[in-house]
């Protein structure tokens, strides 16, 4: 089990405030500098530096051939990335927004996820597909989807998502270094979240697939990832007033899933709530709740509950606050964890 | 006679080569090498003065509409606005060539076309204000919802036009898309279906030079986007998109062709987006001022004014009336957009399905309970505040 | 709660053996005959009658304009169907195989599922998308996917799947009649399954969204659908020898989900196994197990278990028997339901 | 110089109309109105006798291969076989025009092209036998896995060719697709990317008249499929797909063009599928015997034989040698396919990821346990059988 990284103060290099967007950009830059086979491609990633400016400066530093503005066609982008990977390159594809990755789903499901398997291991595809996801940024329709359920249901893909500035760097580096395809989901509304972070002595690149306990607690476990981590951390603080000492697990990787870390936590606390923005029905929480229950049934004092987006198309910006799981909704779920049974 | 049997979609089978016959003669499908123009040419003299004046009023109004909508983003009244400043000739002509029963399929950039067609500007902008996804009933106005996923509206237009034709209705669909959108697979599939079905559709590409930051040279290596028509067996037309009269004429002909059973046409209008991609974009990152200035000299309103002036149709009265009408529209828009939309959180669950599922009913109940708690707290707070104030 | 239909003998019209394929074809025919706005479109659905012959005879009876061979482009097929539905038609789209529906996912997710919502109810899309799914037919790669998880995770869609000849007819009729889009998943390997069935007095068209108890039992509930129903029925018979009296619930509709029928059964039996062919991780079983647990926690003697396809790309035909959940694997899961706890 | 800067993908920006310049002259992009032919024309006399004989041997072998594979489906030795009988000229020429370092991107129908390139027929047929998804290492043979989802292999070919070019390697990719496949969005996107990037790719469409049951007239209204090239700014070539020499020449020129940095070409070969779509298909449902017979008169092997005979190159020895070599291949194939492949169920988990996840390890353990139980039961049964026999 992995616990939270050592506090920034203990690091050698000087830290300064950095945003998640900057950490992601830095991860791309460092990967490209270290490995000449890493190529970035997508819509507006070159001259403009991406609509979220994650790729800012890459075309200038590495040239148009390493950071390429493609024609506007997501299936074409991912499909050509497959060919590039077949030839030994390590493409990093940017999808401009979650919903605009959908045209590429056939390439992703039928080729990216399956190529290693289809060729008996002869032709792995080390492709990273960066998907900015989730809401809370006031985007109009099609700009706030949480599509991780589609990727999770596709064997052959890794699905990774950072929630902190440090992980944004470390996990993106690890994803690009992975010999398997990774759907790297970037929580849009955390792009501008800040943390003290040293780009010059970045955290050791951890293997992907490890969850991390972000807050230790004994009453119940909040299992979450990406955009919902800050919500859960805030809820955990607020819960102290109610007498609940909540543990918070940041999954970081949905595939592979860290059953060990999650299971150990839930076995300790005996209660769990899964929190995510994606729609509840058929969403990631079902899988998580089901596997936690399979593994920890006799430790559970109450069913694993889920706090998720409603089962509706993502609402218009003026309504999104009603849809997004917030602190209150998380606390309400914790309150439903049958505490009376304890006494 | 079924649609499949109509002349043209006839028996093209690659029978043995000695008898090989192409389905259509490619020559008539090819666009002219230069964009078609009327203004500033001899042909302009034949243009109907009424049309010129109508277009002029619309263009002035359209320009003002773009400016007002952009201003509304600064005041936080719109979540985002993709301006069509510089493209008013295209937007306006697309609206004017359609009959009442025809359908318009706009993209996110084409609120002006919807407004020029008669849609209430507030309804047109609702999506971009952010209170609901679509501010109008598409069937009432024969305007499809503004479409964000690029080129996905094109097959819709084909299907709708095909359906109308199967039912014997006189309906043409005009679908708008940008230069960038032509690279999407949906563009290809839509044009191909339309040609095979001879659907009464006009595909209208506004080539404004950029897909956000990506210039056309990185988008295509084709002689022009209009040349793509050949590969579907439909005619391609290339037109100066800043020449309102030319666009109106070319689109009008394409609509007439579709209406008379002639099948689809691909029209490319060469134009330029004078503003950034949206208010959130920084265009200086990818284009030079001098390029923008060069296009300013080819401004659609100025082109038209020059013609009107030359023909003695542009006196101060005309100018003033156009300006005043535009200002009235802008003022009304400003005022109406100043009100906060009243929203019911329960709307979230109202239109997911015809009938709410058990699951959605449960979720609605949850939200309702939350809202009640919130409201109680607000009231408590107000009471407290009131008490405090009362002291 | 709905229970199995009355035995065939009690019907008025004469029954005779019919295959599921025939019942589906008949449902299309009857829908088209009754409602002139119903149009069938897809690849090879006309002259050929579809590669599974489901649409056989429709083009002849109703003309090419009602049953249309389209160009070969799934996004185009579904996209034009959207337009047809916007104009008031009721398109029924055939996807040739599950994996070949993927090119249409963008249209499905961004438009078909959302149009009613986007337009505030003004423009519903009564589209039925028929997707032959699942394995067990010896198909080479890309011909045996179970893609229901993608559809379940997409609010705005109904997801319906028959497991019997009778339901094939009734549910397809109901789906076509629905004013909402339905992904109608046809279990390929049951196409040739037979039952005594009367096409002339077909069962009353039930509203979609109701599960049905196919076998009453008291020891545990098998929750299943589509291609896995026969497996579960066989397992239930075999279980008698082991002393287990298994109840079998056929979901029939994954969305909407019949919590009432499923919950009532599990509360009665106290144990449950979810069985499906689709990959386990991120598959339908997670949602089902999670929601059953949320609702029936204190009635459960053991965690809800899942028997599913492995988390791998669908294997080649000569290996598929290892992948598919069979009777033994279901019984093994039942055996793991902590029976000792009972005594 | 970066790829984007190469001549041709130059600065096409729709600068103000007075300066509007098309990127390329469309005329050279247009295919000839008739499919290009060599056999039976004066040009045939210039064809190299060695090439003619080589093609002849390959065609005879290819025809035999198709027959043998079809026979194997009847014997239950292949799960399915999509025959390329009648299309051997295309399949063979596609293989012969490539250098060793080049890549071939075949569809499910193109096992013959892979075999003609030198791939072991058993490896080529493994997917269709059903024991594993791909029977060969694509990198070892520079042959991409046989591709079933239509047109999805085309962007792969573009990406690979582009990657090779970026690395300065002399590699051309030749991608095969059917007439039906040209309707897919991936076709469009691949050709567009290739043209913009000037990638060294040849797109080779075998227009065999049908997509399963759907004839070309329901697939396109274009003058020809080769005409689609214009819309991407690449040359389109139309060739008689049953004329092996013509196909070889046209593809050879396209490959040479790609190799020399000239960019992609779209080649349409007009041919005919003599067998049903696959052994599982019933072609009588959608086409007439007389159509099939008309094409039999234009058989690729006969066309070549006529030429060879006319030039005195076809004696009994040549015929016999071609026949015998084909029979040897068929006999070897038959024999090797008669063996049941030995399969390890654990292979299911071996190549999903580079490293097995915990979850897959658990699942593998489950299957292993099941297999052991099964094996024990089998052994018990054998023991019992043995005991009974022993009595
Ligand atoms: C499928 C899809 N991919 C990406 C986007 C993000 N996006 C929005 S507008 C735009 C550029 C479109 O350019 P163009 O088609 O030329 O239209 P314009 O904005 O110039 O009117 C992009 C990439 C999108 N909306 N849809
Ligand atoms: C994306 C996709 N849709 C549908 C299919 C099913 N399918 C297999 S072959 C075929 C017809 C292909 O026709 P064509 O491209 O002309 O190639 P041919 O079989 O004639 O060689 C179809 C529809 C598929 N394999 N992939
Ligand atoms: Mg543009
Ligand atoms: Mg074909």
Name the pLDDT band for D2 (thresholds 50, 70, 90).
very low
Is residue B187 within 8 Å of residue B105, measured between CB atoms?
no
Answer whether residue C20 shows pLDDT above 50: yes
Structure tokens at C54: 């489901």
Is residue D164 within 8 Å of residue D135, measured between CB atoms?
no
SS3 (DSSP) at D256: helix
Q: What is the value of pTM for the model shown?
A: 0.96
Residues belonging to chain D: 391
Is residue A53 within 8 Å of residue B286, measured between CB atoms?
no
How much is the pLDDT for B10? Answer: 43
Ligand nearest to the CA of B108: 1
Answer whether residue C4 shows pLDDT above 50: no
How much is the pLDDT for D20? Answer: 67
pLDDT tens per residue across span A156-203 = 999 999 999 999 999 999 999 999 999 999 999 999 999 998 877 666
The rounded Å distance from CA A204 to ligand 4 centre is: 53
Judge whether B131 is closer than 8 Å to chain D, CB to CB.
no
Q: C228 CB less than 6 Å from ligand 2? A: no
- Cα–Cα distance, C299 to A84 (Å, whole number): 54
The residues of C whose Cβ lies within 8 A of any Cβ of D are 43-44, 46-49, 51, 69-76, 99-100, 102-103, 138-143, 281, 310-313, 315-319, 322-323, 328-329, 332
Q: Tell me how far apart the 2 most distant CA atoms of chain D are, in Å.
A: 102
Phi and psi at B194, nearest 5°, equal: -60, -45
Structure tokens at D137: 């290492």
How much is the pLDDT for C11? Answer: 45
Going by alpha carbons, the residue nearest to atom 11 of ligand 2 is D211
Answer whether residue A106 shows pLDDT above 90: yes
Pairing of strands D201-207, D173-178: parallel
The rounded Å distance from CA D205 to ligand 4 centre is: 9
Interface touch C109/A102, C-beta < 8 Å:
yes
Answer whether residue C8 shows pLDDT above 50: no
Helix B49-74 and helix B88-96: axis angle, to 10°? 120
SS3 (DSSP) at C133: strand
Across chain D, mean pLDDT equals: 93
How much is the pLDDT for A1? Answer: 34
Answer whether residue D8 shows pLDDT above 60: no
- Cα–Cα distance, A152 to A211 (Å, whole number): 16
Pairing of strands B265-270, C158-160: unpaired
Mean pLDDT of C1-12: 41
- The residues pairing with C186 across neighbouring beta strands, listed in sequence order, are C132
pLDDT tens per residue across span B16-33 = 765 666 667 888 999 998
User: Which candidate from A138, A322, A328 shows the least CB-CB separation from B345?
Assistant: A322
Is residue A125 within 8 Å of residue A85, measured between CB atoms?
yes
Going by alpha carbons, the residue nearest to atom 13 of ligand 1 is B211
Is residue B210 within 8 Å of residue B287, measured between CB atoms?
yes
The rounded Å distance from CA C66 to ligand 4 centre is: 24
Helix B316-338 and helix B121-129: axis angle, to 10°? 50
Interface touch B163/C84, C-beta < 8 Å:
yes
Is residue D39 within 8 Å of residue D245, measured between CB atoms?
yes
SS3 (DSSP) at D72: helix
Structure tokens at D4: 């984007």
Query: How far apart, in Å, are the Cα atoms of B106 and each of A294, A334, B146, B214?
Result: 50, 46, 5, 21
The nearest alpha carbon in chain D to A109 belongs to D149
Pocket test residue of A78, A100, A144, A145 for ligand 1, highest count of atoms within 8 A of CB: A100
Name the pLDDT band for A13 (thresholds 50, 70, 90).
low
pLDDT tens per residue across span B338-355 = 999 999 999 999 999 999
Pairing of strands C128-133, C90-94: parallel
Chains that touch B (3 or more CB pairs under 8 A): A, C, D
HSE-up of B215 (CA within 13 Å, CB side)? 16
Is residue B147 within 8 Å of residue B105, measured between CB atoms?
yes
Query: How far apart, in Å, are the Cα atoms of D294 and each of B15, D246, D301?
Result: 8, 20, 15
Omega within 30 of 0 (cis) for the link into A256: yes
- Cα–Cα distance, A283 to B283 (Å, whole number): 38
Contacts of B360 in chain A (CB under 8 A): 310-312
- Cα–Cα distance, B306 to B321 (Å, whole number): 17
- Looking at chain D, which runs of residues are DSSP E strands? 103-105, 173-178, 201-207, 210-211, 214-215, 236-240, 265-270
Element (H, E) at D295: helix D289-296
pLDDT tens per residue across span C199-239 = 776 666 678 999 999 999 999 999 999 999 999 999 999 99
Question: Residues 6 or more apart from B125 whose CB is under 8 A from it?
Answer: B69, B72, B78, B81, B111, B135, B333, B337
Question: Residues 6 or more apart from D51 whose CB is under 8 A from it?
Answer: D245, D248
The residue of A108, A149, A282 whose CB has the most chain C CBs within 10 angstroms, and thus the best one to mutate to test that interface, is A282
SS3 (DSSP) at D228: helix
Q: B179 CB less than 6 Å from ligand 1? A: yes
Name the pLDDT band for D209 (thresholds 50, 70, 90).
very high
Q: Return the active site residues of C.
A: 143
Tell me what ipTM this predicted complex has: 0.96
Name the pLDDT band for A4 (thresholds 50, 70, 90).
very low
Is residue A83 within 8 Å of residue D159, measured between CB atoms?
yes
Interface touch D297/B216, C-beta < 8 Å:
no
The nearest alpha carbon in chain C to A299 belongs to C303
Q: Which residue has the tokens 């009532």?
A: C264
Q: Residue D340 class from Cβ within 10 Å (0-12 exposed, 13-18 middle, 19+ buried)?
A: exposed
Pocket test residue of B127, B128, B211 for ligand 1, highest count of atoms within 8 A of CB: B211
Answer whether residue D35 shows pLDDT above 50: yes
Q: Which residue has the tokens 């247009």?
A: D30
For ligand 3, a single-atom ion, which residues have Cβ within 5 Å?
A: B 178-179, 208, 211
Structure tokens at A292: 């936690």
Mean pLDDT of A72-84: 98
Judge whether B213 is closer than 8 Å to chain D, CB to CB.
no
Q: B263 CB less than 6 Å from ligand 1? A: no
Across chain B, mean pLDDT equals: 93
How much is the pLDDT for D180? Answer: 98
Q: D180 CB less than 6 Å from ligand 2? A: yes
Report angle CA D194, B228, D212 to the nearest 5 degrees: 80
> Relative to the CA of D150, which ligand 2 atom is closest?
26
Interface touch B348/A49, C-beta < 8 Å:
no
Three-state secondary structure of B229-257: HHHHCCCEEEEECCCHHHHHHHHHHHHHH
Answer whether residue D22 shows pLDDT above 90: no
> Relative to the CA of D184, which ligand 2 atom is closest?
1
How much is the pLDDT for B2? Answer: 47
Pairing of strands A220-224, A272-279: parallel
How much is the pLDDT for C1? Answer: 33
How much is the pLDDT for C10? Answer: 47
HSE-up of C146 (CA within 13 Å, CB side)? 32
Structure tokens at B381: 């707070």
The rounded Å distance from CA D234 to ligand 4 centre is: 22
Q: Tell me how far apart the 2 most distant CA atoms of chain B are, in Å.
A: 102
pLDDT tens per residue across span B245-277 = 999 999 999 999 999 999 999 999 999 999 999
How much is the pLDDT for C3? Answer: 36
Interface touch C69/D218, C-beta < 8 Å:
yes
- Cα–Cα distance, C57 to C54 (Å, whole number): 9
Pocket test residue of C43, C45, C72 for ligand 2, highest count of atoms within 8 A of CB: C72
Q: Residue C203 class from Cβ within 10 Å (0-12 exposed, 13-18 middle, 19+ buried)?
A: middle
How much is the pLDDT for B260? Answer: 97
Query: How far apart, in Å, are the Cα atoms of C236 and each of B221, B335, C218?
Result: 63, 69, 11
Structure tokens at B230: 């050949």
Interface touch D229/B231, C-beta < 8 Å:
yes
Answer whether residue D15 shows pLDDT above 50: yes
| Chain centre to alpha carbon of residue D51 | 21
Radius of gyration of chain C (CA): 20
B236-B239-B245-B247 Cα dihedral, nearest 10 degrees = 50
Mean pLDDT of D329-343: 95
Q: A100 CB less than 6 Å from ligand 1? A: yes
Is residue D240 within 8 Å of residue B17, measured between CB atoms?
yes
Q: Return the active site residues of D.
A: 273, 277, 286
Going by alpha carbons, the residue nearest to atom 18 of ligand 1 is B178
- Give the end-to-end CA distance of chain C in Å, rounded to a whole number: 31
CA distance C336 to chain D (A): 13
CA distance B359 to chain C (A): 8
Mean pLDDT of C64-78: 98
Pocket test residue of D149, D211, D275 for ligand 2, highest count of atoms within 8 A of CB: D211
Across chain C, mean pLDDT equals: 94
Q: B164 CB less than 6 Å from ligand 1? A: no
pLDDT tens per residue across span B107-149 = 999 999 999 999 999 999 999 999 999 999 999 999 999 999 9
Omega within 30 of 0 (cis) for the link into D155: no
How much is the pLDDT for C343? Answer: 40
Interface touch C257/B359, C-beta < 8 Å:
yes
- Cα–Cα distance, A23 to A27 (Å, whole number): 6
Contacts of C71 in chain B (CB under 8 A): 189, 192-193, 196
Interface touch D20/B4, C-beta < 8 Å:
no
Name the pLDDT band for C271 (thresholds 50, 70, 90).
very high
Is residue A138 within 8 Å of residue A323, measured between CB atoms?
no
Mean pLDDT of B308-316: 94
SS3 (DSSP) at A96: coil
Q: Return the active site residues of B.
A: 273, 277, 286
- Please name which of B201, C78, B154, C69 lies closest in space to residue D217, comparing C-alpha atoms: C69
- Cα–Cα distance, D133 to A119 (Å, whole number): 7
The rounded Å distance from CA C7 to ligand 4 centre is: 47
- Please name which of B178, B124, B189 lies closest in space to residue B156, comparing C-alpha atoms: B189
Q: D181 CB less than 6 Å from ligand 2? A: yes
């Amino acid at each position: 089990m992995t616990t939270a990284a050592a506090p920034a103060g203990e690091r050698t290099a000087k830290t300064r405030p950095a945003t998640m967007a900057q950490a992601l950009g830095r991860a791309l830059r460092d990967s490209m500098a270290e490995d000449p086979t890493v190529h970035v491609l997508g819509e507006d990633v070159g001259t403009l530096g991406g609509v979220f400016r994650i790729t800012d400066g890459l075309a200038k530093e590495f040239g148009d051939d390493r950071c390429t503005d493609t024609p506007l066609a997501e299936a074409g982008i991912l499909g050509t990335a497959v060919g590039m990977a077949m030839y030994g390159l390590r493409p990093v594809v940017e999808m401009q927004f979650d919903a605009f990755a959908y045209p590429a789903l056939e390439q992703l499901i039928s080729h990216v996820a399956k190529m290693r398997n289809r060729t008996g291991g002869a032709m792995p595809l080390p492709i990273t597909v960066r998907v900015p996801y989730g809401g809370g940024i006031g985007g109009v329709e099609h700009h706030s989807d949480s599509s991780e359920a589609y990727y999770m249901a596709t064997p052959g893909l890794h699905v990774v998502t950072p929630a902190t500035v440090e992980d944004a760097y470390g996990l993106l580096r690890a994803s690009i270094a992975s010999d398997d395809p990774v759907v790297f989901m970037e929580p849009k509304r955390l792009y501008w979240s800040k943390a003290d972070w040293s780009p010059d002595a970045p955290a050791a690149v951890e293997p992907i697939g490890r969850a991390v306990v972000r807050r230790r607690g004994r009453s119940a476990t909040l299992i979450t990832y990406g955009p919902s981590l800050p919500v859960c951390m805030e809820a955990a603080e607020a819960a102290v007033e109610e007498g609940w000492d909540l543990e918070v697990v940041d999954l970081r990787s949905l595939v592979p899933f860290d059953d060990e870390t999650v299971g150990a936590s839930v076995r300790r606390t005996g209660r769990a709530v899964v929190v995510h923005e994606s729609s509840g029905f058929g969403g990631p929480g079902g899988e998580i709740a089901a596997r936690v229950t399979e593994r920890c049934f006799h430790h559970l004092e109450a069913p694993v509950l889920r706090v998720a987006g409603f089962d509706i198309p993502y609402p218009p910006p003026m309504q999104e606050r009603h849809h997004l799981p917030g602190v209150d909704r998380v606390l309400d779920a914790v309150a439903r964890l049958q505490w009376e049974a304890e006494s | 006679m079924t649609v499949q049997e109509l002349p043209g979609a006839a028996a093209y089978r690659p029978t043995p080569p000695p008898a090989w016959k192409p389905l259509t003669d490619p020559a008539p499908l090819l666009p002219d090498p230069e964009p078609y123009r009327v203004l500033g040419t001899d042909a302009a003299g034949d243009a109907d003065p009424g049309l010129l004046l109508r277009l002029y009023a619309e263009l002035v109004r359209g320009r003002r509409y773009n400016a007002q909508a952009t201003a509304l983003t600064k005041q936080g009244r719109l979540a985002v606005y993709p301006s069509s400043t510089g493209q008013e000739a295209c937007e306006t002509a697309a609206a004017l060539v359609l009959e009442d029963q025809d359908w318009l399929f706009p993209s996110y950039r084409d609120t002006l076309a919807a407004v020029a067609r008669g849609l209430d500007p507030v309804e047109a902008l609702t999506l971009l204000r952010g209170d609901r996804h679509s501010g109008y009933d598409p069937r009432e106005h024969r305007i499809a919802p503004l479409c964000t996923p690029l080129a996905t509206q094109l097959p819709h237009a084909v299907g709708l036009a095909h359906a109308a034709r199967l039912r014997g209705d006189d309906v043409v669909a005009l679908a708008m898309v940008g230069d960038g959108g032509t690279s999407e697979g949906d563009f290809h599939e839509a044009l191909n279906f339309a040609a095979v079905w001879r659907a009464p559709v006009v595909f209208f590409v506004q080539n404004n030079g950029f897909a956000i930051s990506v210039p056309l040279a990185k988008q295509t290596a084709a002689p022009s986007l209009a040349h793509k028509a050949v590969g579907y067996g439909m005619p391609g037309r290339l037109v100066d998109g800043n020449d309102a009269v030319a666009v109106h004429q070319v689109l009008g002909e394409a609509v007439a062709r579709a209406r008379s059973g002639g099948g689809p046409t691909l029209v490319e209008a060469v134009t330029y987006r004078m503003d950034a991609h949206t208010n959130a974009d920084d265009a200086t990152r990818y284009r030079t001022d001098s390029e923008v200035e060069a296009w300013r000299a080819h401004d659609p309103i100025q082109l038209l004014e020059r013609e009107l002036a030359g023909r003695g149709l542009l006196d101060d009265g005309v100018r003033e009336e156009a300006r005043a009408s535009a200002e009235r529209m802008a003022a009304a828009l400003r005022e109406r957009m100043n009100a906060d939309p009243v929203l019911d959180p329960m709307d979230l669950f109202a239109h997911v399905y015809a009938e709410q599922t058990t699951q959605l009913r449960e979720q609605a109940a949850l939200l309702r309970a939350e809202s009640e708690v919130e409201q109680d707290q607000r009231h408590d707070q107000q009471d407290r505040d009131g008490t405090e104030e009362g002291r």
